[in-house]
Amino acid sequence: MLRIGALVSGGGTNLQAVLDNIESGYLSNCSVVAVISSRPDAYALKRAERYGIPAICLRRKDFDSLDDYDAAIIEYFEKHRVDLVIMAGFLSILGKKFSEHYRNRAINIHPSLIPSFCGKGFYGLIPHKKALEYGVKVTGATVHFVEAEADTGPIILQKPVYINDDDTPETLQKRVMEEAEWKILPETIKLFSEGRLVVEGRKVRIKR
């Protein structure tokens, strides 16, 4: 059984997508065993409570250093024997201590086709707003392994979403979630749970 720890900051829709796929049997060999939020008012904490999942809020500002913050997150996940960490809309930046401890065992979902519209400051509606301003015809979502620098880790899966002429940042965000994020995050978890992801430098090979 793959034991998953989730890092969240907001509504937890990606967390819910994972929980739905566990319930459906698609991720039958997986279980979410711990949730950490960076915000006390995150609705994702209520989702965890509804499923009886241990959950806490750890705010960056309550720690003297990034190392201390990393250490607290690691300690909580180690306590719950987490095998894989998913960053599901987590808005706090983590440091080297976290990324090295969970090297190739922590994944992030980002709402664009990396390397476009990504990096520090690109969260929430911003990637969608920037995609529309730039005039690209295709956007999407990316799942990648976590490294210390935001959105730079090896890419695991990407899924495109075509932009409509009448899209707003809000409508595009909704479609990227529904058509891409909620599909490739569970798919990545399944591949990881089956031992099918092989990291070779910057490339991730999927074993057949």
Kindly report the CATH number assigned to the domain that includes residue 65.
3.40.50.170
Neighbours of 134 (CB within 10 A): 10
pLDDT at 93: 85
pTM, two decimals, is 0.95
E strand or H helix that includes residue 205: strand 203-206
Q: How many CB atoms lie within 10 A of CB 196?
A: 12
Looking at residue 70, its pLDDT comes to 98
Is residue 110 annotated as part of the catalytic site, yes or no?
yes
For 34-125, where are the alpha helices, taking DSSP H only? 43-50, 66-79, 96-101
100-159: pLDDT as tens digits: 999 999 999 999 999 999 998 999 999 999 999 999 999 999 999 999 888 999 999 999
Containing structural domain, residue 62: 2-206
Residue stretches of the chain with pLDDT short of 70: none
- Total domain count for the chain? 1
pLDDT of residue 150: 87
pLDDT in tens, 117-131: 999 899 999 999 999
* Catalytic choice (80, 110, 128, 144): 110
User: CA-to-CA distance for 89 and 123, rounded, in angstroms?
Assistant: 8
